[in-house]
Amino acid sequence: MQAWEEHVRKVVPYTPGEQPVCKDIIKLNTNENPYPPSPKALEVLQNIDGQLLRKYPDPEARQLVEELAGYYGRKTSEVFVGVGSDDVLAMSFLTFFNGQKPILFPDITYSFYDVWADLFRIPYECQPLDDKFKIRTKDYKKRCGGIVIPNPNAPTGVEKELSELEEIIAANRDVIVIIDEAYIDFGGTSAVKLLPEYDNLLVVQTFSKSRSLAGMRIGYAFGNEKLIKYLNDAKYSFNSYTMNTITAAMGAAAVRDDAYFKATIDKIISTREWTKQELARLGFTFPDSKSNFIFASHARRPAAEIFEALKVQGIYVRYFDKPRINNYLRITIGTDREMKALIEFLEKYLGENV
Ligand code: PMP
């Protein structure tokens, strides 16, 4: 070790899902939307005046903030936007989790939370899910430095009832509770409606899943004015121009195209329900999912083997080699054609491997 290495901020980074360059694969590994972004958003991209890019973007991304505020019935001062919800969440950890007490989140959850906690030197305590992969309300009713809960949870897809989340938010009024709603649009009930009641609540959402814009990197959060002001103060102390001109304009157009948004979600939900039936028929078990993925395990074949066999076939799903979940596959919902190809392969594979 070099002497200077002693002063390096050492972190074990988050490992994102693979993004293979090869085009002929069925990609069900990173919870992307299989459908294209709204044609209205793509129109904005095609018609963008290149001369605009000479100038810095609007640091407040007002066009997008106004559209989001209007759509969700909030004031613009209650909206924060960032470069994907990862950026919004990272900024929120930095801003709100600044105490001595550990923050709380589930033991099986989005694996970026502990990475940010380590990066920002935030103490944390993971709360075990029950044997049905459910978050236990009572685990979050103790003194702590803050709470972050994804709803639905990832990678399980399990939704927690809003009334139970409200119990947690109400029991923790002296700290910030972040509800990460990356997958809420696929049939869950959003905590946005609790915002008028709770000044300690931050609801975070993304354009990466339900709005098919993972590549543009747009995330946002709703909270009361004071909380959003604190978030913006931290953001402007870090980088004023996080969101570029094109992204803000495309995001605003995507929000305006509500019909396309709803139609895409309906398609994904119906494909998900079909996939659930087919996986069950093939002997898979899974907690009920309210997201755009299914977390499935097979009684006879180890998940790691199925994962490899699928990959050879050009079907990418996600496998986490971690305690309690190392016999599960997280399968993103693709198009009907993609899911049929998955099921056909699994049927053949499992038939041959009895
Ligand atoms: N939260 C959860 C629970 C997620 O699964 C993801 C996707 N990896 C994110 C946040 C971040 O998504 P993005 O940065 O694309 O908005």
Q: What is the pLDDT of residues 189-205, one digit of tens each?
A: 999 999 999 999 999 99
Q: How far is CA 246 from the centre of its chain?
A: 22
Q: Which neighbouring-strand residues pair with 204? A: 180, 221
What span, in angstroms and rounded, lies between the C-alpha atoms of 33 and 213? 8
Region class of 237: left (phi > 0), else alpha (psi between -120 and 50), else beta: alpha
Residue type, position 293, single letter: F
| pLDDT recorded at residue 22 | 80
Predicted local distance difference test score (pLDDT) of residue 95? 98
Which position has the token pair 């992969």? 133
Tokens representing 351 are 């038939």
What SS3 state is found at 239? coil
153 in contact with ligand 1, CB cutoff 6 A: no
Nearest CA to 245 among 32, 47, 35, 39? 47
Please, are residues 167 and 139 in contact by the beta-carbon 8 Å criterion?
A: no
Ligand 1: centre distance to CA 113 (Å): 11
SS (H, E, C) 4-60: HHHHCCCCCCCCCCCCCCCCCCEECCCCCCCCCCCHHHHHHHHCCCHHHHHCCCCCC
268's enclosing H/E stretch is helix 258-281
pLDDT tens track for 62-112: 999 999 999 999 999 999 999 999 999 999 999 999 999 999 999 999 999
Q: Which residues have a Cβ under 8 Å from the Cβ of 186 and sit 6 or more positions away?
A: 152, 209, 210, 265, 268, 269, 272, 290, 291, 292
Distance 112 CA to ligand 1 centre (A): 9
Nearest in space to 307 (alpha carbons), one of 329, 326, 276:
329
Which residue's CA is the nearest one to ligand 1's atom 7?
Answer: 182
CA of 352 to the centre of ligand 1 (A): 36
Q: Is 106 in the pocket of ligand 1 (CB under 6 A)?
A: no
pLDDT in tens, 133-162: 999 999 999 999 999 999 999 999 999 999
The pLDDT > 70 percentage for the chain reads: 99
Closest ligand 1 atom, residue 109 Cα: 3
Choose one of 29, 68, 206 to mutate for the ligand 1 pocket test, by most ligand atoms within 8 angstroms of C-beta.
206
Domains in the chain and their CATH numbers? Answer: 17-36+259-352 (3.90.1150.10), 39-256 (3.40.640.10)
Ligand 1 close to Cβ of residue 86 (< 6 A): yes
- pLDDT band at residue 317, thresholds of 50, 70 and 90? very high
Q: Is the pLDDT of residue 354 over 70?
A: no
| Ligand 1 pocket member 178 (CB < 6 A) | no
The answer to whether residue 318 scores a pLDDT higher than 90 is: yes
CB neighbour burial string for 331-341, b if at least 16 within 10 angstroms, e if fewer: bbbbeeebbeb
Q: Is the CB of 85 under 6 A from ligand 1?
A: yes
With a CB cutoff of 8 Å and minimum separation 6, the contacts of 293 are 28, 31, 154, 155, 157, 183, 330, 331, 332, 333
Tens digits of residue pLDDT in 108-124:
999 999 999 999 999 99
Say whether pLDDT at 300 is over 60: yes
Residue 336: is its pLDDT beyond 60? yes
Phi-psi region of 19 (alpha: psi -120 to 50; beta: other; left: phi over 0): beta
Q: Is residue 81 a contact partner of residue 244, using CB atoms and an 8 Å limit?
A: no
Answer whether 42's CB lies under 8 Å from 221's CB: no
Give the total residue count for the chain: 354
State if residue 33 touches ligand 1 by the CB under 6 angstroms criterion. Answer: no
Q: Give the chain's end-to-end CA distance (angstroms, integer).
A: 51
The Cα 331–Cα 342 span in angstroms is: 10
Q: From the CB of 155, is ligand 1 less than 6 Å away?
A: no
E strands, 207-350, in order: 219-222, 284-285, 293-298, 315-316, 318-319, 329-332
177 CB within 6 A, ligand 1: no
3-state DSSP call for residue 297? strand
Which pLDDT value is given to residue 20? Answer: 86
Q: Can the peptide bond before residue 287 be classed as cis, meaning omega within 30 degrees of 0?
A: no
User: What is the SS3 assignment for 65?
Assistant: helix
C-alpha 31, offset from chain centre: 9
